[in-house]
Amino acid sequence: IKATAYGNSLTTDFAIAAIQGENLGKDDITDVLNVSYSSTDYVGHNFGVNSKEVEDTYIRLDKDLERLFNYLDENVGDGEYTVFLTSDHGAVNVPSYLQTMKIPSGYLSNTDRKIKFNKFIMDTYGTTDIIENISNNQIFLNKERVKALELKLEEVQNAIANEQLNYAHVFKVYTATSMNTVNYDSGIEYSIQQGFNQKRSGDVIVVDDPAYISYSRTGSTHGSGLNYDTHVPLLFFGNGINHGQTVKRTEITDIAPTMSALLGISFPNMATGQPLEMVID
């Protein structure tokens, strides 16, 4: 069910039931209902962003949203609620399709890259124990082993970064040290730094060439800092919202401050975005 449009229909059923069961919008106290439609993600992974299956899923999702908003109009009141709609990510076009259009793209072999990398680590340090994990385009070092071998962490990070840059279809590589010491204010570096966690992110971050992925030839994926993964819609409408549009850069982290400003309450403690003043009526 989750990988079909019907998953979104069930989610809408649950949302309407929650409004009914919790008596949302029936008093002077603001209620918040968050609804996550995830079937679009599963369908996109299976078939790709330009597939007929994705098109069908979004047509049906549009009908589900209409059903939800009609219910709100009838039971909360037309113009008596505020909605924001966005996405947590985009996705890359299916590389096998892009190749038919003569657009540079392709598929990566993580196995081949791992074999080459393990050889480099063994030849350089005499052991592969200094590598804790490789996942999500990040290389995590075993810092205890690095320390036990009397190696300097920053030097190991730089050596690995320089090695990775030599591999086919690696676009850019960054170290945790650079993420901690350099302030990036534009480009993919900015996007990576915004998602970097000092305690949890990897020691080396690898960015593959655009439209090169490790995935099946019939589906799509996401997770990079490139535009096709990070450019998503952001819509506000309803009570307290201006009519209009903008080409100004906005970010998902701007939503919470904007809604807080609309409600006249303080921003969440960890909010990093800014209120979008042009949105508020």
pLDDT of residue 254: 97
- Closest by CA position to 83, among listed 234, 232, 236: 236
* Local confidence band at 247 (pLDDT 50, 70, 90 cut-offs): very high
Integer-rounded Cα Rg, in Å, for the chain is 23
CATH number of the domain within which 22 lies:
3.40.720.10
User: Do both 68 and 20 map to the same domain?
Assistant: yes
pLDDT of residue 212: 97
Rounded to whole angstroms, the Cα distance separating 194 from 180 reads 11
User: Do both 112 and 197 map to the same domain?
Assistant: yes
User: Do both 255 and 122 map to the same domain?
Assistant: no
Number of structural domains, the chain? 2
- Closest by CA position to 235, among listed 221, 226, 245, 227: 245
User: Do both 154 and 229 map to the same domain?
Assistant: no
This prediction's pTM: 0.88
User: Do both 11 and 57 map to the same domain?
Assistant: yes
User: Do both 120 and 208 map to the same domain?
Assistant: yes
User: Do both 88 and 138 map to the same domain?
Assistant: no
Q: Which two tokens stand for residue 111?
A: 């196995």
**Does residue 271 sit within a domain?**
no
Are residues 70 and 178 in contact, defined by beta-carbon separation less than 8 angstroms? no
pLDDT of residue 263: 94
CATH number of the domain within which 166 lies:
3.30.1360.150
User: Do both 124 and 188 map to the same domain?
Assistant: yes
User: Do both 115 and 146 map to the same domain?
Assistant: yes
User: Do both 174 and 250 map to the same domain?
Assistant: no
For 86-105, how does the pLDDT look when each residue is reduced to its tens digit (9 = 90+)?
999 999 999 999 999 999 99
pLDDT of residue 17: 98
**Does residue 278 sit within a domain?**
no
**Does residue 174 sit within a domain?**
yes
**Does residue 277 sit within a domain?**
no
Location of structure tokens 């076009």: 93
User: Do both 73 and 22 map to the same domain?
Assistant: yes
**Does residue 272 sit within a domain?**
no
Are residues 34 and 48 in contact, defined by beta-carbon separation less than 8 angstroms? no
Domain carrying residue 256: 6-98+222-263
User: Do both 37 and 92 map to the same domain?
Assistant: yes
**Does residue 276 sit within a domain?**
no
For 137-191, how does the pLDDT look when each residue is reduced to its tens digit (9 = 90+)?
999 999 999 999 999 999 999 999 999 999 999 999 999 999 999 999 999 999 9
**Does residue 279 sit within a domain?**
no
- The SS3 of residue 44 is helix
Q: Which two tokens stand for residue 214?
A: 């490790």
**Does residue 32 sit within a domain?**
yes
Helix then strand then coil, in percent of the chain rounded to 5, is: 45, 15, 45
